[in-house]
Structure 1
Amino acid sequence: MTPGHTASLQLPAFLHGTYRSVQQKVKREGLRCAEQYRTEGTFSAHRQLLEVPLGEVVVAQGVVDFQQERPAWRLYMLSQVLGGVWEALGWEDSSAVRDAYEGSFLETPWGALFFTLARMGPVSAERTARRLEAVLRFWEALEGARYLFKAPGAAQTLEEAMEASCGWAMDAWCPERQGPVRARLESAAERMARATREDCLKAIFRQMPRALAAGHDLKHRQVLADPAFQRERLTTLDSRAFERVSGACTPELLEKLYDWDQELGLQ
């Protein structure tokens, strides 16, 4: 076993309990983390971890957390720890705080899964590759639990949750559509990690039809669907703006389509 890896999934103790009790605990944890970041500029490991029994359900998204009076593992509430840190620090430089927190805890099973499912911050090819690589390193521990993610009351396997969350990455970066989810994620992560700008453009073009389909009220759909128009607009983006869409994540592409749609309406 690789050093630092555990055979079973462990989560921070403050993530277990009723919704109200977890909310109170994450608020205290956010204050603790904020004070540490203020004085040291870093985050340290959360002090108490608990083992998740084999097959137990982890609530991974807030929209499916309907039984709030029932004790449960509430992974998604890590976002409230970050919210507490931002609030305690006066919301200054929130992206730097988020990146520091992610950098500290991406090397834990729970941190890897949380940041991959939550997709916090611009979902660039480089950032997504790091997140997928982290989940893949902890795959055996993570697959011991089941996850409530998008479908209320329907607990999913790790493979199903990852497909629901990262299907866009597999479609854009591993279009062969063959093999198990884990193998396709490995291929996608490897390609994203070494992607050139042209590689990113090809992945974006593969994913654009899905983004266009999601934009139900786009007014200049025919123009936006033209690959020549897409390439012209994408090649004029500066490095920071291009990095934001470089992973070919559907919501990021849809946001860009709406920007272009608005610009076309002003011409």
Structure 2
Amino acid sequence: MIVPQSPVLEFPAMLHGPISAIRREVRAKSQGWAREYRKTGGFTQPRRMLQVSPGEPLVMHSAAEFEFMCRSSWRIHMFIDVFMNLEEGVPKEERQRMEEAFESFCLGTPWGALYHAVSPPPLRSSERMASRLAALLRFWDVLQGPRYAYRVPDTHHTLDALMEYIYRETLEAWCPGGPASVREHMALTVARMARATREDCMQAVLRVIPVVVRANADLKHREELSDPGFLRERLAALPPEDFEDVSSAYRYAVNGPVCAWDRELERH
């Protein structure tokens, strides 16, 4: 269920405060959601919500904590702690269905859509990333108000700047030379991702790998890792779930296999 759009942006109160308090409250809510799922098969919004003021900074990554460490702040990155207890008491055979239901619930809220776009958990498949980015686009206007602290020190991004920082290479891999507007480029990418074939995904991943290689100064076998034939062969040999995890061309997911191939080349 999608939460009705409101001109006022509200996030769960448990994500605001000092680190220790947020950790306690998120853990308790995680356990509460687990109990709720076992009882009803679904999830509901936290009762306590707080308004996010225009221009207020949201800490989206632990790397940005240095600036905010000694004060109460919005710490959206700490939502990851929810997943520590979410499966509590849920039978193993039910967990995948529960995870899918929880993500669907989250994507119907502005805070959940934002979290899943900024810190997407596995699998980062083209289909799932299309759903996550589509959810973000639905809440784009209301999420324009805050500023976002991410990996760049002392920088508070706009939503557009944050998405360009995280997804610029992915958007370009799917839609080379796309619109100048990040929002429009993302919308076009979502449409292509949602109907992508395996070959479409392969082409997008091959376009983003050179960016990953340039960003990793420690890679030792750059010539092989820049060879399209070698890369296509390695991508084709990935187990289905591993290929699915990189099929969106999300650069942080692609980074893992590229580094693994470099280590494998080193051993030989």
TM-score (norm 2): 0.88
Q: Which amino acid aligns with 1:233?
A: R
Structure 1 gaps, min length 5: none
**SS of the residue 1:58 aligns to:** strand
2:50 aligned counterpart, secondary structure: strand
- SS of the residue corresponding to residue 147 of structure 1 reads strand
Write out per-residue CA displacement over residues 69-108 of structure 1, whole angstroms, 9 at most, x where no aligned residue: 312222111111222325x449968765543321211011
Q: Distance in 2 between matches of 1:119 and 1:213?
A: 23
| Alpha-carbon shift at residue 202 of structure 1 (Å) | 1.3
Are 2:3 and 2:109, in contact at CA under 8 Å, matched by a contact in 1?
Answer: no
Is 1:8 the counterpart of 2:3? The answer is: no
Match of 1:19, as an amino acid? I
Which SS does the other structure have where 1:8 is aligned?
A: coil
Q: CA deviation at 1:247?
A: 0.7
Query: Residue 195 of structure 1 aligns with which residue?
Result: 196
- SS of aligned partner of 2:156: coil
Output the CA distance in 2 between the equivalents of 1:133 and 1:157. 18
1:91/1:151 Cα in 2 relative to 1: closer, same or farther (>3 Å)?
Answer: farther
1:79 corresponds in structure 2 to 80
* C-alpha distance in structure 2 between counterparts of 1:144 and 1:172, whole Å: 29
List runs of 5+ in structure 2 lacking aligned partners: none
Q: TM-score, normalised by structure 1?
A: 0.88
Equivalent residues in 2 for 1:23-172, closer than 5 Å: 23-66=23-66, 67-86=68-87, 88-89=88-89, 97-172=98-173
**Residues 254 and 18 (structure 1), Cα distance of their counterparts in 2 relative to 1, 3 Å cut:** closer
Matched residues in 2 for 1:221 and 1:151: separation?
A: 27
SS at match of 1:221: coil
Match of 2:176, as an amino acid? P
- Give me the whole-angstrom Cα distance separating, in 1, the residues matched to 2:212 and 2:169: 10
Contact 2:38 2:90 (8 Å CA) reproduced: no
Q: Distance in 1 between matches of 2:89 and 2:266?
A: 40
Structure 1 residue 220 displacement after superposition: 3.4
State the distance in 1 between where 2:70 and 2:98 align.
Answer: 31
Deviates more, 1:246-255 or 1:90-99: 90-99
For 2:115 and 2:23, the matched residues in 1 are separated by 17
RMSD (Å), alpha carbons: 2.5
Structure 2 CA distance for partners of 1:125 and 1:104, relative to 1, 3 Å: same
